Amino acid sequence: QVQLVESGGGLVQAGGSLRLSCAASGSIWGINVMGWYRQAPGEERELVATITSSISTYYADSVKGRFTISRDNVKNTVYLQMNSLKPEDTAVYYCNLKRYGVDDWGKGTLVTVSS
């Protein structure tokens, strides 16, 4: 089983930027999808962005044009660059790895955007 460790969360003012990182322990081989999800207080977890092992990306409409997902396959790390942050982006952000029907999750990192 792969362990995923997120970092980079914190408190930022509206309009600011943060960069989240998620490092995967062990080797990630084969076809896989890494992604970021978020869960705001009282809300369900929602998809933010994904990136495949072939570097195809997907973004939720709410973050298109503001967030950029990328990955380093040598370092087994996925990143989420978040710009023009809004208070409604406040949530715990979780890293996810999908491969061959198996989901691995990180423990999450808190992002708080003040107005």
Would the CA dihedral through 41, 17, 66, 77 be positive or negative?
negative
State the pLDDT at residue 78: 96
- The answer to whether 113 and 24 are in contact (CB under 8 A) is no
Residue 56 CB contacts under 8 Å (≥ 6 apart), including other chains: none
> Mean pLDDT per 10-residue run, the chain (115 residues)?
93 98 85 94 97 94 98 92 98 95 95 97
State the pLDDT at residue 30: 78
State the pLDDT at residue 74: 87
State the pLDDT at residue 47: 98
